[in-house]
Structure 1
Amino acid sequence: MQDTTSIRARSAARRMLAPLALAQFICSYAGSNMNVMINDMSEDLGTSVQGIQVAITLFLLVMAALMIPASKLTDRFGRKRMFIAGLAVYGVGALTSAIAPNLGVLIIGNSILEGVGTAMLIPPVYILTTLHFHDIRERARAFGLISALGGVGAAAGPLIGGIITSVIDWRAAFVFQALVIVVILILARNVVDPVAADPTRSFDLGGAVLSAIGLIALVLGILALDNVLWLAIALLVGGAAVLAWFIFRSARLERAGREPLVSPTLFRNRASNTGLLTQVLQWMLLMGVSFTVAAYLQVARGYNAIETGIIFTAATLGLLVSSLAAGRLVRRFAQRTLVIVGFLLTSAGIAALIWIVEALPGAWAFAPGLLGIGLGLGLGLTPSVNIVQSAFPEQRQGEISGVSRAFSNLGSSLGTAVAGTILVAGLVEASRSYALAIGVLGVLGLVGALLGLRLPKAETERAGSSAN
């Protein structure tokens, strides 16, 4: 009887993965597909390229400001309820963007509503996965599927967006997002929240404001790196100072017996801290390589959006294969090993993007390097997420999920900013800027491999066993 109940529970958990993984796909897709629609959107809306870039930047800022507070609110309102509400807000935002007559309405739909929706729905994806899959290997397989669709969404976003824009219209790309949201809402009937909501749970409003200000300043500073260096430094220093005050205030609240937005004890776990840093580097590499190669292909090689997206298919394939294989690989290898090998494979792929691309003129010269990068990132991202989420018991999943997603978003912003700064800084002649930007990312891959050596060798079978 117990075996039958266990089998039914595992089957229900697996059915629940479809809407959760699709949610991660569409949010990752939305973060990259607009890059190939900027010219069409600016002409149609009567604005400039800079105007569309402002909308994209505001989307990142809204996510950065709300990811941690929204994650904490899942304890108060329930994980499934926040997931459904986030999907609804996101869907309204996508439809608003699709019918936008001007830049202002686009900002309301894409930057604000889709940003708020993303911040609401993404933390429950990781919390619910952690709560439903207790065995570390089953959890790795689940996170492998989520990471695979997230990586595919980010890597294939320019291709899908480029095809829809070229064949139909840029507005249809937002309609596509809304249709996917409808599918997820239908599938979300299978989502079950195993932990009851606690409406009496306190919420640290002051901490939410401080964390939002600090994270917004950090993201703005990162994005300003390739424009105004002094402003970028001021924002980064200011953001770090605000976050330091946020941590100090949180510790003081905790000593007074009150519940802060994020407990400072969350950062006393070595495995989680190291895992968070590896996530930052992984998303830096993914978005940095994507930006650098896409810019080089379109500016230096003259490829259009669809051709550029097709070339990135090699990275998409690599991410899909290695992420889906993560569950089986965890049964044979330690997660620490997979993270280290993933970074090394990514650095090898980056090296190939320099040497093979310089030696061969054709588009196929990019395939080996992009495939290696996709395989490496897919191999390491799943265990990194699993290590972080599994380091804490279920009552702390709301905190760690928001922090984890905030770190990933910072990594994405930092990767694009660093690569973009090197490309436009004029440190070397224009023909060598690509190699320099890619080379710096390759060094970061090696740093990630060294960082992986700090991860614990022992695996934990139950969430939270290492945290307490």
Structure 2
Amino acid sequence: MTETVERERAAGQRKVLAALALAQFICSFAGSNMNVMINDISTDLDTTVQGVQVAITVFLLVMAALMIPGGKLTDRYGRKRCFLTGLVVYAIGALLSAAAPGLGVLILGNSILEGVGTALLIPPVYILATLLYPDLTSRARAFGTIMALGGIGAAAGPLIGGLITTAVSWRAAFVFQALIIAVIVLLSRHMDDPLPPDPTRTFDTLGAILSSAGLVLVVMGILAADNDIWLMIALLVLGAGVLWWFFRYVRAREASGREPLLSLSLFRNRTSNLGLVTQNVQWLMLMGVSFTVAAYLQVVRHYDAIQTGIIFTAATLGLLLTSLSAERLAERRSQRTLVMTGFVVCILGVVVLVVLAAAYTTAWAFVPGLLLIGLGLGVMLTPSVNVVQSSFPEERQGEISGLSRSVSNLGSSFGTAIAGTILVSGLTRGAYAAAMLSLAVIGLAGLAAATRLPRQTDPTHTPRRAARERPGA
């Protein structure tokens, strides 16, 4: 009888992990699959490459801007409720995008509604994984599965999107997303929330508005770089001012004894801060490379959607190989070593992409570099998340999960905005090289942060233990 109950419990836990991993997959897929639809969408909706870039970047930006408030809402309304609500909002956005008659409706469905849905459903993914898997090794396995599906979604997005676009239409790719959401809802039926919701928790509305507005202004400033340098400067300065106002407001709210949207004490953990930097740079490189290579192949080399997607298979295979080995790698190597190794391999991959693309006209020239980037990302995505989530106790998982996902998605926004702006300004071989090399330079900053991570990680250091060690946290 006991064995039967245990088997049922294990099967239920596998379904929950499958739901969490698929949720990360579809959100990452949404951020990259449109890269191979640039020509089809711009022609069908009578817009430009820059218009599609804006739609992609705004989706990533909405996720980043609302991820912190989304994480905070999980404490008040519960992780399962926020997860399911996010899935419904996302599905509505996907179906609206599939029927979009113009760029404006596409931005509403894909960039806004899917972005809001993602901000609600992604923080619970990482909170639940952290709470359901209490030790470092099992959590590494769970995060490895989630990050593998997330990385595959981002890396295979161009291939899957290309196949669907070529076989049916770019609109069918959004119907595909809605179908995956339906599967996730079915898998989530028996999901249990390890912590009960606390309806008495306050929600800092003004803090949410200030943080979101500041991030939006900064990214929009980057997007304005190729059109109006003065507008870019104005938006960046205004965004920095709003973020400064946000942090001043948070400090005052904490001093008065009220709960802020984001406690500044989260930034007093040096290990977590370094892990957040590495997360930001990893997703910046992944999404920056994805947009730049896809746009270059389609606009400059005139490849169609499926040809472009097939080339990206190299990155998908590399990421799959290393991500699914996360548990074994965590047992043998420190988190610091894995993150450093990942950055070195990724930077090398970017350099190889630039050199071979300049020397050869064949599509095979892109394969070695993309393979290296996939391998590098797969090595370091999981340990970076594990470092951050494991640095805080249970009662702070809502805050840190929201911050962690916001930082990662902000990196995705920056990657598309920075590299995309450089590329779109010229759409030439020189612009492609400049965009890629800018990503490599930023990767060096991520590597520098990784070298400062602790050399050893205590495998018994769980959120529960962290709570006992830092009762005042």
Range of TM-score over shorter length: over 0.9
Aligned twin of 2:154 = 154
Deviates more, 1:76-85 or 1:349-358: 349-358
1:367 partner letter: V
Cα pair 2:39 2:298 within 8 Å, conserved: no
Given that 1:223 and 1:413 are in contact with CA atoms closer than 8 Å, whether structure 2 keeps it comes out as no
Show the counterpart of 1:125.
Answer: 125
Q: Give the Cα separation in 2 of the matches to 1:432 and 1:101.
A: 35
Query: CA deviation digits over 1:351-373, x for unaligned, max 9?
Result: 22233333443222221111111
Distance change >3 Å, CA 446–CA 7, structure 1 → 2: farther
- Report if the CA contact (8 A) 2:36-2:294 is conserved: no
Q: What is the CA-CA distance between 1:421 and the residue it aligns to?
A: 3.5
* Structure 1: distance between partners of 2:228 and 2:386: 37
- C-alpha distance in structure 1 between counterparts of 2:54 and 2:360, whole Å: 37
Q: Secondary structure at the match of 1:417?
A: helix
| Contact residue 222 and residue 413 of structure 1 kept, 8 A | no
The residue number in structure 2 matching 1:30 is: 30
Structure 1 window deviating more from structure 2 (255-264 vs 101-110): it is 101-110
Q: List per-residue Cα deviations over 1:228-251 (Å, max 9, x = no partner).
A: 333223222222221222122112
Pick closer, same or farther for the CA change 1:186–1:447 going to 2, 3 Å. Answer: same
Partners of 1:241 and 1:83 in 2: CA distance: 33
Give the Cα separation in 2 of the matches to 1:442 and 1:60.
21
Question: Kindly tell me: are residues 225 and 385 of structure 1, through their superposed partners in 2, closer, same or farther at Cα, counting changes over 3 Å?
Answer: farther
- Residues 193-212 of structure 1, C-alpha deviations (whole Å, 9 max, x = no match): 10000111111111111111
Matched with 1:458 is 456
Alignment of 1:383-398 (within 5 A): 383-398=383-398
How big is each residue's C-alpha offset from its partner over 1:33-52, in whole Å with a ceiling of 9 and x where there is no partner? Answer: 22333443344445555555
Question: Equivalences for 1:211-222 in 2 at 5 Å?
Answer: 211-222=211-222
Q: Assess if the C-alpha contact under 8 Å between 2:165 and 2:305 holds in 1.
A: no
Q: Please give the per-residue CA displacement for 1:173-204, whole angstroms capped at 9, x wherever unaligned.
A: 11111110100000112422100001111111
CA RMSD of aligned residues (A): 2.4
Q: Secondary structure at the match of 2:285?
A: helix
| Number of equivalent positions | 466
In 2, Cα distance between equivalents of 1:425 and 1:90: 32
Does residue 434 (structure 1) correspond to residue 429 (structure 2)? The answer is no
AA at the equivalent of 1:395: E
The 8 Å contact of residues 346 and 376 in structure 1, kept in 2 or not, is answered as yes
| Secondary structure of the corresponding residue to residue 289 of structure 1 | helix
Between 416-425 and 365-374, report the one with greater CA deviation: 416-425
Task: Show the counterpart of 2:330.
Answer: 330
Displacement of 1:139: 0.9
Task: Tell me, yes or no, if the aligned pair for 2:72 and 2:261 is still in contact at 8 Å.
Answer: yes
How far residue 104 of structure 1 moved from its aligned partner, in angstroms, is 4.2
The within-5 A match list for 1:40-439 is 40-45=40-45, 52-424=52-424, 430-439=428-437
Counterpart CA distance in 2 for 1:276 and 1:229 is 30
State how far apart, in whole Å, the 2-side matches of 1:2 and 1:198 are.
33
Q: Matched residues in 2 for 1:299 and 1:53: separation? A: 13
Please state how far the C-alpha of 1:444 moved relative to its aligned partner. Answer: 2.6
Change (3 A) 1:137 1:225: farther
Q: Distance in 2 between matches of 1:3 and 1:219?
A: 53
The residue type paired with residue 283 of structure 1 is W
Whole-Å Cα distance in 2 between the matches of residues 416 and 83 of structure 1? 26
Matched, 1:449 2:437: no
CA distance in 2, matches of 1:54, 1:290: 15
Aligned mates of 1:200, 1:301 — CA distance in 2: 57
Residue pair 2:335, 2:456 contacting (<8 A) in 1 also = no
Shift of 1:386: 0.8
Helix, strand or coil at the partner of 2:324: helix
Structure 1 residues 370 and 41, CA gap change in structure 2 (3 angstroms): closer
- AA at the equivalent of 1:452: A
Q: Which moved more, 1:383-392 or 1:286-295?
A: 286-295
Per-residue deviation, residues 78-104 of structure 1 (Å, max 9, x unmatched): 001100111011112212222334444
Partners of 2:285 and 2:15 in 1: how far apart? 31
- Percent identity over paired residues: 64
* In 1: Cα distance, 2:78 partner to 2:428 partner: 52
One-letter identity of the residue aligned with 1:442: A
- 1:444-466 per-residue CA deviation (whole Å, 9 max, x = no partner) reads 32332221111112314212627
Q: Would you say the 8 A contact 1:144–1:382 is kept in 2?
A: yes
Q: The residue matched to 2:194 in structure 1 has which SS?
A: coil
Q: 1:316 to 1:269 in 2, by over 3 A?
A: same
Residues 320 and 69 of structure 1, relative CA distance in 2, 3 Å threshold: same
SS state at 2:126 partner: helix
Distance of aligned partners of 1:417 and 1:52 in 2 relative to their CA distance in 1, 3 Å threshold: closer
SS of structure 1 residue aligned to 2:371: helix
Unaligned runs of 5+ in 1: none
SS of alignment partner, residue 397 of structure 1 = helix
Please name the residue that 1:21 is paired with: 21
1:246–1:286 CA distance, 2 compared to 1 (3 A): same
Once the 2 structures are TM-superposed, how far is the Cα of residue 264 of structure 1 from its aligned partner? 0.4
In the superposition, the TM-score normalised over structure 2's length comes to: 0.92
What are the superposed Cα offsets for residues 312-365 of structure 1, whole Å, 9 maximum, x if unpaired?
A: 100011111111111110000000110001101111212222333334432222
